[in-house]
């Protein structure tokens, strides 16, 4: 779950293919915000260190 972004989609069913433009734009905005928040705190180096992959320093 270290690279998972959660996006609230409570009012839209995963199989609802007939959502309104307003619902689609709201869902997009929530996804964009969740992605930006994730990227502000995520570190590839920390991810590799936590998952057991060796982290080498650059020369």
pLDDT at residue 53 tops 80:
no
Q: Could you tell me which residue, 29 or 43, shows the higher pLDDT?
A: 29
What is the model's pLDDT at position 31? 92
Q: Is residue 7 part of a domain?
A: no
Query: Who wins on pLDDT, 55 or 28?
Result: 28
Asked if residue 4 belongs to a domain, the reply is: no
Query: Over 90: is that where the pLDDT of 45 sits?
Result: no
Kindly calculate the radius of gyration of the chain based on its CA atoms and give it in whole angstroms.
17
**By C-alpha distance, which of 5, 12, 2, 1 is closest to 34?**
5
Residue 29 lies in a domain: yes
pTM over 0.75: no
Counted domains in the chain? 1
Residue in the structure block whose two tokens are 């998972």: 4
Structural domain that includes position 44: 21-50
59 belongs to a structural domain: no
- Return the number of other C-beta atoms located less than 10 Å from residue 24's C-beta: 11
């Amino acid at each position: 779950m270290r690279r998972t972004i959660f996006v609230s989609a409570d009012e839209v069913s995963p199989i609802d293919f007939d959502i309104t433009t307003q619902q689609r734009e709201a869902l997009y905005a929530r996804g964009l915000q969740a992605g930006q928040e994730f990227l502000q705190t995520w570190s590839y180096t920390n991810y590799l260190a936590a998952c057991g992959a060796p982290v080498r320093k650059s020369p």
